Every structure is written in C-alpha cells, then in structure tokens.
C-alpha cells in the first residue's frame, strides 16, 4: 500500500532548518493564547516541561498524571545523566558531533533533521536547568562537571550525583508548580487518560478516569499533547516503574495515529539479574558504572560451571582466567560500547555457557582495577549510592576486598544482565511533533522521533526536555494559529458521549469476564512470551510462534480474567487490567514490526541477519525507512504498514563500527 | 543463599477517608529473603485475589527508592526498619521467622487516608506551588557556566535537593510538621546564587502555606531526620528559620 508521508522537514541545509522553521512559522498573539486550551497528558520531563512552558506563554493548560504528584513521573528514576554539546571539557565536542553520534548510535534509522535539532537545542537545556536551580555536579573551580557515557568518545554528560532524572524532573516540576500557582495550568493527579476524542478529524479532548472515584470524566481542548512515556512494561519485567503503560498511546493508535518502529526496544546491559518468579521489576545499575567497571566472564567453561553451582565466587578467579570480552572484541570503545552491542555480547557469552550465576544468565562487572588505581574513596564517591543499592538488593558489597591472589587484590564483582529498559519506537510524529491525527502531538519517550533503532545513554532526558521546553512550544503554535477563531466547545458533543460510552463498555466487559486469573498472572505470561520470542535475539520462526502465543494470551485474558471489587470507586486491579489489555495489543504490534524488518539494526536483532563475527547486519537497500503501522479497526486484525523513507543529506550512511 | 521466613502480618484496612478502619491479620508462609517488602505485599494480594477478595491498596511506583510514592509505616517506623531507605528498598531478609509485622498508612492530619495504606499528599504540591521555584522563564538564559558555584555549595544544595517528597518526616513527627520537607526545598534554592533574589519571599510563602494547610509546628524532636529515607539533615530547618526570621524582620 502506498501513502505519501509528509514529515514536514523544512528546507535548507541541516544546520539551518530549525532556524528557518522558527523564522517562518505562524505564531499566536498573547490575547489569543488566553482563548486556547491545551491538554497535556503526562508530567514526566516531556510533559512537565511542556505544560510549564505553554502555561507561561499564556495558553490555558490542563495537565494529567497517574501518580499522586507530577514529581513522581517515571523520569524521576533516571540516574546517569543528560547529554549536551557544550564542549566545556574542550575535547572536541560540537553540535555536529552530538548529532553524528546520535544518528550513528541509532544505527542510521533516525530522522536526520530531528536529531540535528535535538543536538542544537541540547545546550539550551543545560542553561535552562541551571537557571532553575538544578544542582548539577561541579568542579572545584565552580564550573559544571561532565562524565562520559556509552557510544561517545567525548565527555558531554551532565549529572547530579546518581539522580540526574530526579533533579531535572524536580526542576521541571518547580516550573510547573509556579504555573499552577499562577493559575495558567490546572493539574489533575491520579487521573488516567482512557481515550482521545476526535471531532471533525481533529483531536479535541480526552476521556480520563479519576482513579480515586473510579468515574470517567470528559475534557475538551483545542489541542492534545501526549507525553505518557514508553511501553517497556509490555515485557512485564523491565526497569520501568510499575505504572508505566501504553494505554494513552494505544488509544491514539486505535483512533488512527500511526505507531512507528515498535520493534525498536532497548535492552539495557547493566541491570541486576532476575532472582525469582515473584519479582515485580528489574533494577537498573547506572550505565555510568561502565566508566570504571570492567565486564567479564570466565575464560574457562569449568570455572563458569563452578560459579553456576555456587562452588566458587567471582573473586576466586584470577586475572589471567578472566575474559574481558568487550575490551577484547571492541578495542576502541571497550566497556563503553553502545547498549545494544553490550547487551548482545553478554547474551552471546551466556548462550555459550559462560554465565556466572545460578541461572547462567549473568556476567560480572568488576571494580578491582579501578579501586586499585583510584582508591576506594574515589570509587565510592562516584558510585557509592549504587554500591549501597546493589548491596541492599543482593546482600553483596561490591566495594569489599574479597581475596588477594599473587599480590593482586580482588574485590567482589557485581553481577549484571540485560533487561528491557527503553522504547525507541512510539507514536509517529512529523518534524512538528504532530501525529498523523491533526491537533494531536506526542513528545518524550512516547514518540518515535530521535533515537532511530537504538538510544544512546543520557539522550532520553535530553530529548524529553528538548521536546517540552524548546520544540513543542514553538511548533504547536503553527497549528494553533489557525484555531484562534474556534471557540471553546462543550464536552456535551456526541463525540465525547460516544467515546465515554466506549470506555465504559470496555470496563463493564472486563468486570464481567469473571474468570479465575489475576491481572498480574496473565501479565507475567505475556512478559515471558515477549522476552522469549520478541526479545533480544529474534528469528522469523520465533516471531511467528510469538504471535500465535500472543493471540492465545489475548484469548486467556478475554475468558479467564478476574477483577475483584466493583467498577465503582477505586479499583487498582481494574486499572491494571485496562493497561494489560493495551500491553497485549502493543506486544503484537512489536512482533509484527520485528517480523517485517528482515535485518538487524540497533535494538532489533534478527539472528538470521548477522555477520560472521555476530555483529548486526543492516539492509539499507530494503529497510531504510520508518515503519508506520496503522490500526485496522480491531485488535484482532493485523495492522497495515506504511513507509516513511529516510533521507540522509548530512551524514554518510555507514556500517556501525566500535572496533577501531 | 537467603532463607525463607514465615511471619504474621497485621495490615491496616480502611475503605475510605470516613471509614473507621481496622487491622486484618494474615499468616505469611515461606517468603524468600530476597523478596522486597512490596513484592511480599504483591504475594499477599495475589492470594487475596485468588480468594476473590479485594487486594490491599498501597502507593508505589519506581520501587527503587526515588519516586517517593511508597509510604508505609512498618512496625511503628515510617519506611520500616532500615535507615536511609524507603519501604520499596527493604528486603525480607531484614525480618525474622515468627515476627509480627504491623503495617499502617502515614498517620497525620496533613495526609488523610484515601484507602487502606494510600494517603493524600497533595498538600506537598500546594506548598511547592506557593514558592518552591526560581522564577525563570523558558527561553535562553545565560550560559550555564556563567554562574560559578563553588563545589561545596553545589554539593550542599544537591544534598537538600535529594528529598523525594515522601512525607515520612511528617508521619514521624508528633506535631505533624512538614518543616524538614519545606526546609529541604528552600535550602536547595536559597543556597544557590540563582535562588537568592527570591530567598526570603520563598521562605515566608512556603511556611505560611504549610501553616495554612494544617501542618504542625517544629519543636526540634529530630524524629524527622532519623526517619528520612534520604537522610535530609535538620540543619536545613535551622537555615529555613534564619531566612524566615529575616523575612519577618523585613516586613
Ligand atoms: C531506571 C531508568 C534510568 C534511566 N536513566 C536515564 C539516564 O540516565 N539518562 C537518560 O537520558 N535517560 C534515562 N532513562 C530514560 C528516561 O528516564 C525516560 O525515557 C524519560 O524520562 C521519559 O520521560 P517522559 O517524560 O517521556 O515520560 P515519563 O517520565 O515516563 O512520564 C510519563 C507521564 O505520563 C503519565 N501517564 C502515562 N500514561 C498516562 C495516562 N494514560 N493518563 C494520564 N497520565 C499518564 C505518567 O503519570 C507520567 O506523568 C532511564 C530510564 C529508566 C527506566
Ligand atoms: S525530607 Fe525526607 S522524609 Fe521528608 S519528604 Fe523529603 S525525603 Fe521524605
Ligand atoms: S516506590 Fe518509588 S520510592 Fe518507593
């Protein structure tokens, strides 16, 4: 099927596109802004920064979140840092280099013009956050400090201890609070968007569930912005917070917004390994650990076996018997290769039997060398909170001297394994961050825009804030400038009534299944299928099996689900069931896209498509496009694919190489 | 390897803000030591659902000690037995076979119970809205490195900023005072050069809002500091008091 996809990329050389756009876009004058309403769903970095900025500009903003306070959005959990092209370290960084690294890191599957704009505004973000009082780490001279992160050879990551996401979100939350105090933004906490309302082909409102009273409520606006985060929890176990979900995104998809590149899911290499079947989530150990930690497994299979049986410990294995496989395979980047490469390399070793814990699904991350080089104090200063967190969870202290063999000191290594972490795919948006539905915008992790097939560390925070502070507040005006004559409209319109009724019917349906299985038990099942067949190493056959299994899970959900309590009032299980319904649809969408993409790139690895050395093999001739999926009127129907061809003008498309 | 333990769990149940509330008692069997406290409640909830009963409602989200959503009073301590950790960061290996574990919601006038263990903390947001910000517009402020901030000041601001807004300080305080929370935010902003111009106004506005919302006075019992999962120091309260007095003198 063909469809002309207009991504609205402005004319001109890459470095001038955004400036040109801003110079020529339509603006809304202050008197008219007061007459225009905007709904922003989500209060993470993207949503909070957008709501605060739009409110301050004079629009009337309604801002929604699931948690009891905007400050608790999942962005709060980001540890490592945020990138910017400041070149404060004078190590040769530039807007172009950040742009280039991001495109390369994304395995040449991102839209060039968007990424350039992202790199361009990255510096403004740091300025903005410092002005808000974000306490970034500093050097003794009072200047801002930086660290390096995977996939880059410069030090361009700004950080606030191991709590960068928290501090950035609190900055945005402060700005948002100021606007709430000033009356420009109205907050709706403990609300969950259930559906988008379309009037005459344009997004004009939402149906949201008040999670305390259980009631459905209608909200109207001139435009709707979705900033609802990623869909990683489709895999049940992930590093995402428990409430992360894709219900808002799926409701937009069902109403006609295309979903782009769902198969691009990021698996983070440094998480604490799974320990049992009661586990509710996986804990990320910040990637910054790879700056000083060295990743290894034993060279000898018998050592691995002894580790798996609990007969020896990591510290019992001397230096010469350790295989620092990342340093071996990728001498130029070593332990700092991008996440997808590091994750696959860990899987490769474990698949070959070299895993180091009782399940055989873990590798070591070792600080012995850096503790010797820098001293325990310095290492603890950098990673102390992560060491403590690791110890609380696993009962092992990575800073503890375990053994001395031939004068070499060995400290307890950490155990890590890859886990689902971030979703590069998302709602399709054009250069203006508008979806394929007019008046519906998507920002932050929930859109697909900037990371291609793989996201580099410290780039999600950058993208969320770029979208919310510096891009959307401009581009949405280009849309709203035509809407100034549209009066506020009432939620009594039949479109609102219909949308609300559809949500109510769905809720009644779920309550009435009255089966025997809890939401979590079905969700775990979904997670197992997703990880097994649609996870790190995908094959055509596996994906087909996965799709069949997903259909079975859908059926199980439809016939076996049990939700205690009633639909009136608060019902946490009902809320989880609604989300699970959407995760199943999302899971299928991921599988369809993964099956379609007969190549390996970034976070999407198809085992049939790899080089002899086990590296991902892209197929630029046939898959150099954004896959845009369109809903076909029923969750049981296969979606239809449209392609947005990628056009690269500034960067030469190459094979990704982290070896030399 | 961690051992499994069995224990008695007493959990507060309350159907809504107006319900009187009561304890339900459960026997928990063979819970692995590497289960987190909240995963233990998940296990209980799965059992309840299996029996067709309504699960226990509690707030939680990140389960990594950073979002501030979890909020349980465990054996008389906000966030339970560990120091410097939230409820979600507690693992069952801290408890012993045969223990009786009592779980309650935050109990404080400022935080009414919504359901079971879930409370309403929107008062904190309201205090923030009164002055917990630096009045800067989105746009292009000066270059970030144009403001030099000595490392010790930046570090001190960061320590204050690590507050997760959980409310344990209020729950721990016999007066139900929110001073540790307020002082942490005021300190972060007032320590930094960017926050100085509004420092006194901020201190006054946030304290008045806190009083207006019915939080109690601080009488220096230090219970808040002892229970704060982020070890926010009460020296922040002293700093806030100084700024507040200065602001009053100026009036
Ligand atoms: C453990 C961890 C560490 C990370 N570390 C880093 C890092 O160091 N650097 C980096 O750059 N990135 C990092 N990331 C990624 C980054 O944190 C996220 O991609 C980013 O914060 C997403 O921001 P967001 O604003 O798009 O969405 P979120 O922060 O997820 O916010 C989503 C918001 O939408 C609301 N919401 C969702 N659905 C609904 C609905 N239906 N109705 C109403 N509201 C809804 C939620 O309540 C919330 O307010 C990390 C991620 C994780 C999991
Ligand atoms: S000061 Fe401590 S106890 Fe009080 S809200 Fe902040 S983190 Fe929680
Ligand atoms: S659940 Fe986030 S701090 Fe406990």
Domain positions in chain B are 4-115, 121-250
CATH fold of A269-419 reads Flavocytochrome C3; Chain A, domain 1 (3.90.700)
In this predicted structure, what is the pLDDT of residue A286?
Answer: 83
From the list A201, A165, A170, A403, the residue with the least C-alpha distance to A286 is A165
Describe chain A by its helix, strand, coil percentages, rounded to 5: 40, 20, 40
Phi/psi at A579 (5° precision)? -65, -40
In angstroms, how far is the first alpha carbon of chain A from the final one? 42
Q: What percent of chain A has pLDDT over 70?
A: 100
Which residues lie closer than 8 Å to B136 by C-beta, 6 or more apart? A128, A131, A132, A175, B194
The architecture in CATH of the region A493-624 reads: Up-down Bundle (1.20)
In this predicted structure, what is the pLDDT of residue A89?
Answer: 95
Separation in Å, CA B80 to CA A74, A241, A396: 24, 21, 21
On the question of pLDDT at B38 being above 70, the answer is yes
On the question of pLDDT at B100 being above 70, the answer is yes
The closest ligand to the CA of B90 turns out to be 3
Residue with tokens 């849309």: A479
DSSP secondary structure string for all residues of A334-400: GGGS-HHHHHHHHHHHHHTT---STTS--EEEE-HHHHHHH-HHHHHHHHHHHHHHHHHHHS--TTS
Q: Kindly identify which residue of chain B lies nearest to residue A158, measuring between CA atoms.
A: B144
Strand boundaries in chain B, DSSP class E: 4-13, 22-32, 73-74, 77-78, 100-104, 113-115, 118-119
The closest ligand to the CA of B87 turns out to be 3
Encode pLDDT of A333-367 as tens digits.
Answer: 899 888 888 999 998 999 999 999 998 999 999 99
CA distance A492 to A499: 11
On the question of pLDDT at A145 being above 90, the answer is yes
CA distance A559 to A77: 36
From the list A341, A340, A401, the residue with the least C-alpha distance to A366 is A401
The shortest C-alpha distance from A634 to chain B (Å) reads 30
In this predicted structure, what is the pLDDT of residue B2?
Answer: 66
Question: Which CATH code fits A14-264+424-483?
Answer: 3.50.50.60
On the question of pLDDT at A58 being above 80, the answer is yes
Encode pLDDT of B187-206 as tens digits.
Answer: 999 999 999 999 999 999 99
Which residues lie closer than 8 Å to B211 by C-beta, 6 or more apart? none
Encode pLDDT of A569-590 as tens digits.
Answer: 999 999 999 999 999 999 999 9
Encode pLDDT of A249-274 as tens digits.
Answer: 999 999 999 999 999 999 999 999 98
Are A1 and A640 in contact by the 8 Å Cβ rule? The answer is yes
Query: Burial, B18: exposed, middle or buried (Cβ in 10 Å; 0-12, 13-18, 19+)?
Result: exposed
In this predicted structure, what is the pLDDT of residue A381?
Answer: 83
Separation in Å, CA B66 to CA A166, A240, A475, B87, B220: 8, 12, 33, 11, 26
Q: How sure is the predictor about A4, in pLDDT bands with cuts at 50, 70 and 90?
A: confident
* A393–B147 C-beta distance less than 8 A: no
Q: What is the mean pLDDT of residues A40-65?
A: 98
Residue A357: list chain B partners with CB under 8 A. none
Which residues lie closer than 8 Å to B72 by C-beta, 6 or more apart? B37, B58, B78, B79, B80, B87, B103, B104, B105, B117
- Global ipTM: 0.98
Give ∠ CA A426-A427-A430 in degrees, rounded to 5.
115
Orientation of helix B37-50 relative to helix A519-533, angle to 10°: 120
- List, in sequence order, every residue forming a beta bridge with A478; answer none if it has no partner: none
Kind of pairing between the strands at A223-226 and A37-41: parallel
Which residues lie closer than 8 Å to A328 by C-beta, 6 or more apart? none
Are B35 and B91 in contact by the 8 Å Cβ rule? The answer is yes
Is B121-250 assigned to CATH 3.40.50.800?
A: no
Output the CA B71–ligand 3 centroid distance in Å. 8
Encode pLDDT of A430-469 as tens digits.
Answer: 999 999 999 999 999 999 989 999 999 899 999 999 999 9
Which residues lie closer than 8 Å to A400 by C-beta, 6 or more apart? A411, A412
Option in A69, A127, A241 nearest B121 (CB): A69
Q: What is the mean pLDDT of residues A86-115?
A: 96
Q: Where in chain A is the domain with CATH 3.50.50.60?
A: 14-264+424-483
Helix (H) or strand (E) holding B38: helix B37-50
Q: Which atom of ligand 1 is nearest to the CA of A241?
A: 53
Residue A309: list chain B partners with CB under 8 A. none
Encode pLDDT of A300-342 as tens digits.
Answer: 999 999 999 999 999 999 999 999 999 999 998 899 888 888 9
CA distance A203 to A197: 6
The shortest C-alpha distance from A304 to chain B (Å) reads 18
On the question of pLDDT at A166 being above 60, the answer is yes
In this predicted structure, what is the pLDDT of residue A2?
Answer: 65
Q: Which atom of ligand 1 is nearest to the CA of A45?
A: 25
Which residues lie closer than 8 Å to B44 by C-beta, 6 or more apart? B9, B11, B26, B28, B55, B56
Separation in Å, CA A9 to CA A107, A108, A324, A646, B171: 20, 17, 44, 11, 53
In this predicted structure, what is the pLDDT of residue A659?
Answer: 76
Global model pTM greater than 0.95: yes
Are A288 and A149 in contact by the 8 Å Cβ rule? The answer is yes
Is B4-115 assigned to CATH 3.40.50.10420?
A: no
On the question of pLDDT at B220 being above 70, the answer is yes
**Does B121-250 match B4-115 at the fold level?**
no
Separation in Å, CA A15 to CA A12, A225, A535: 8, 27, 37
Residue A275: list chain B partners with CB under 8 A. 34
Q: Is A274 on the interface with B (CB under 8 A)?
A: no
* B138–A49 C-beta distance less than 8 A: yes
Q: Ligand 2 site: residues with CB under 6 angstroms?
A: B 163-169, 180-181, 184, 228-230, 232
Orientation of helix A112-132 relative to helix A95-105, angle to 10°: 120
On the question of pLDDT at B142 being above 60, the answer is yes
On the question of pLDDT at B1 being above 60, the answer is no
CA distance A367 to A296: 11
* B34–A275 C-beta distance less than 8 A: yes
Q: Where in chain A is the domain with CATH 1.20.58.100?
A: 493-624
CA distance A453 to A269: 16
The SS3 of residue A417 is strand
CA distance A354 to B163: 42
Instruction: Rounding to the nearest 10 degrees, give the CA dihedral for residues A465, A469, A472, A473.
Output: 170
Separation in Å, CA B93 to CA A81, A274, A397, B35, B64: 32, 17, 16, 8, 17
């Amino acid at each position: 099927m063909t469809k002309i996809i207009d991504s609205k990329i402005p004319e001109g050389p890459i470095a001038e596109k955004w400036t040109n756009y801003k110079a020529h876009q339509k603006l809304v004058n202050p008197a008219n802004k007061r007459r225009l309403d905007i709904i922003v769903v989500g209060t993470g970095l993207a949503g909070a920064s957008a709501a605060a900025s739009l409110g301050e500009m004079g629009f009337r903003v309604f801002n929604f979140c699931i948690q009891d306070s905007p400050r608790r959005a999942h962005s709060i959990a980001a540890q490592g840092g945020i990138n910017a092209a400041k070149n404060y370290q004078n190590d040769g960084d530039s807007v172009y280099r950040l742009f280039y690294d991001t495109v390369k890191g994304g395995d040449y599957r991102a839209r060039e013009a968007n990424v350039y704009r992202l790199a361009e505004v990255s510096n403004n973000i740091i300025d903005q956050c410092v002005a808000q009082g974000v306490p970034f780490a500093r050097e003794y001279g009072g200047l801002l400090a930086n660290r390096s992160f995977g996939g880059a050879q410069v030090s361009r990551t700004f950080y606030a201890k191991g709590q960068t996401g928290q501090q950035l979100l609190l900055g945005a939350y402060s700005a948002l609070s100021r606007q709430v105090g000033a009356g420009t933004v109205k907050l709706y906490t403990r609300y969950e968007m259930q559906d988008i309302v379309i009037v005459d082909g344009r997004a004009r409102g939402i149906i949201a569930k008040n999670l305390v009273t259980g009631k459905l409520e209608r909200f109207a606006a001139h435009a709707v912005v979705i900033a609802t985060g990623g869909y990683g929890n489709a895999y049940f176990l992930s590093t995402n917070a428990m409430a992360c979900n894709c219900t808002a995104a799926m409701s937009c998809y069902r109403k006609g917004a295309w979903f782009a590149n769902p198969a691009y899911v990021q698996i983070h290499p440094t998480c604490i390994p799974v320990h049992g079947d009661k586990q509710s989530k996986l804990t990320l150990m910040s990637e910054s650990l790879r700056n000083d930690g060295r990743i290894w497994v034993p060279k000898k299979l018998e050592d691995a076996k002894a580790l798996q049986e609990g007969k020896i410990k990591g510290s019992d294995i001397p230096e010469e018997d350790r295989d620092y496989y990342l340093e071996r395979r990728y001498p130029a980047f070593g332990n700092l290769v991008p996440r997808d490469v590091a994750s696959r390399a860990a899987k490769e070793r474990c698949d070959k039997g070299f895993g180091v814990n009782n399940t055989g699904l873990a590798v070591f991350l070792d600080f012995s060398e850096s503790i010797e080089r820098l001293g325990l104090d310095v290492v603890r200063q950098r990673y102390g909170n992560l060491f403590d967190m690791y110890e609380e969870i696993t009962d092992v202290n990575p800073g503890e001297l375990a053994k001395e063999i031939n004068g070499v000191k060995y400290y307890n290594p950490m155990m890590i394994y890859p886990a689902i972490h971030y979703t590069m795919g998302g709602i399709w948006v054009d250069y203006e961050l508008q979806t394929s539905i007019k008046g519906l915008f998507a920002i932050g992790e929930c859109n697909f825009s900037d990371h291609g097939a793989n996201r580099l560390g410290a780039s999600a925070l950058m993208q969320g804030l770029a979208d919310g502070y510096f891009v959307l507040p401009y581009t949405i005006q280009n849309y709203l400038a035509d809407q100034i004559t549209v009066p506020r409209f009432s939620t009594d319109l039949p479109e609102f009534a219909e949308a609300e009724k559809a949500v109510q019917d769905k809720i009644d349906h779920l309550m009435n299944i009255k089966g025997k299985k809890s939401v979590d038990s079905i969700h775990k099942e979904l997670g197992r299928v997703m990880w097994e067949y649609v996870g790190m190493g995908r094959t055509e056959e596996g994906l087909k099996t996965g799709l069949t299994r997903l259909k079975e899970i859908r059926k199980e959900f439809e016939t076996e689900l049990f939700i205690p309590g009633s639909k009136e009032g608060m019902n946490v299980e009902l809320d989880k069931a609604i989300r699970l319904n959407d995760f199943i649809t999302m899971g299928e969408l991921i599988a369809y896209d993964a099956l379609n993409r007969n190549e390996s790139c970034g976070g999407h690895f198809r085992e049939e498509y790899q080089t002899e050395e086990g590296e991902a093999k892209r197929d630029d001739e046939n898959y150099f496009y954004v896959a845009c999926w369109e809903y076909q009127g029923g969750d049981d129907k296969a979606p239809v694919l449209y392609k947005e061809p990628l056009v690269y003008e500034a960067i030469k498309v190459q094979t990704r190489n982290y070896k030399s | 390897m961690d051992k499994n333990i069995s224990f008695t769990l007493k959990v507060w149940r309350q159907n809504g803000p107006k319900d009187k509330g009561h304890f339900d008692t459960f026997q928990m069997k063979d819970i692995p030591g590497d289960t987190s406290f909240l995963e233990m409640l998940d296990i209980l909830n799965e059992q309840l659902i299996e029996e067709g009963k309504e699960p226990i409602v509690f707030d939680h989200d990140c389960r990594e000690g950073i979002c501030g959503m979890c909020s349980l009073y465990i054996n008389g301590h906000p966030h339970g037995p560990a120091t410097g950790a939230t409820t979600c960061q507690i693992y069952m290996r801290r408890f012993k076979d045969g223990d009786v574990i009592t779980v309650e919601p935050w109990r404080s006038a400022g935080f009414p119970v919504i359901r079971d263990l879930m409370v309403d903390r929107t008062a904190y947001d309201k205090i923030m809205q009164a002055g917990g910000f630096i009045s800067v517009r989105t746009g292009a402020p000066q270059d970030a490195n144009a403001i030099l901030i000595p490392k010790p000041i930046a570090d001190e601001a960061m320590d204050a900023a690590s507050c997760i807004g959980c409310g344990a300080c209020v729950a721990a305080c016999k007066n139900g005072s929110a001073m540790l929370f307020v002082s942490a935010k005021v300190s972060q902003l007032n320590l930094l050069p960017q926050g100085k111009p509004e420092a006194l106004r901020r201190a006054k506005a946030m304290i008045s809002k806190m009083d207006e919302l019915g939080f109690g006075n601080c009488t220096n019992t230090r219970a808040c500091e002892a229970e704060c999962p982020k070890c926010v120091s009460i020296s922040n309260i002293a700093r806030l008091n100084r700024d507040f007095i200065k602001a009053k003198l100026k009036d």
